[in-house]
Amino acid sequence: MSTGGIGYGAPPVGTLCVVNQALRDLLRASGGIIHHADALAVVPGHVLRWALRSRRLRQVLPLVYVDADLAVDSDVVAAAALRYAAGRAALSHTSALRVWRLPVPLHGPLHLTVAAPVRLRGSPEVRVHRRNGFELVPPQVVVRGGYPVTRLETSIIEAWPLLDRDAQRAPAIRAVAERLTTPGRLSAALEDHPRLAGRRVLTGLLGKLAVGCRSELEIWGYDQVFRTIPGLCWQHPVSL
């Protein structure tokens, strides 16, 4: 694992336990996330290198480390990525959908979006997307659960090519069913992504949501049953 080009070496005997306690205290105080400079403020460089070599720490981004026991926690990785971005990025794609509490797979890389001129390196755990005209202000970005995230409709559209089958459709279906957005707002957001992979299929899904489908079962019924019956009136108001 890379540590910024610094060579490894065993720490002097008799110092590791004492100094590692300082490193553990720092990790505890910072939620399991530390920056290279913060670590060197409390421990010598050889102790930091040893912690990485012994896999007590894990480097998730350049100069940003997390407690190895927490490296699989998506919230910790998100906080580490935003710490690395230093106010220049928002959670996006499936990572934003997780914050929006929409169904997405539990595993996979974290996604950040930055403005096109911003140069941030990604990693196997973190993918950085650059977008022309992107700004970290509403309506493009909102703060939700303490995280800056891309707006709901954009997050759903941009996550579409990253997912498969039912998982691909679930965020849009759930968001419309729970009245977090509308098919019309999703269609408007889709217009900003003319080259989106799978655009035709997504357009078809939005059309079915627009006529009133609110679940996979209703979509199946619409495709396999009701469209075969001529003359039906959809979403007919009933007075009670």
Q: Does 122 map to a domain?
A: yes
Residue numbers in the chain where pLDDT is lower than 50: 1-19
b/e map of 186-196 (b: 16 or more CB within 10 Å)?
bbebbeeeeee
Alpha helices in the chain (DSSP H): 16-29, 36-40, 45-53, 74-85, 93-99, 152-159, 165-177, 183-190, 199-210, 216-224
Q: Is residue 105 part of a domain?
A: yes
- 10 located within any domain: no
Share of the chain above pLDDT 90, in %: 68
Q: Give, as one character, the DSSP assignment of residue 44.
A: -
Asked if residue 95 and residue 58 are part of one domain, the reply reads no
Domain range spanning residue 180?
Answer: 153-227
Candidates 174, 197, 121, 111; CA nearest to 148 is 111
Do 131 and 177 lie in one domain? The reply is no
Boundary of a domain, candidates 126, 150, 174: 150
Is residue 127, in this structure, part of any structural domain at all? yes
Last residue of a domain, one of 133, 150, 167: 150
CATH code at position 41: 1.10.10
Q: 100-151 pLDDT, tens per residue? A: 999 999 888 999 999 999 999 998 889 999 999 999 999 999 999 999 999 9
Cβ atoms within 10 Å of 14's Cβ, excluding its own: 7
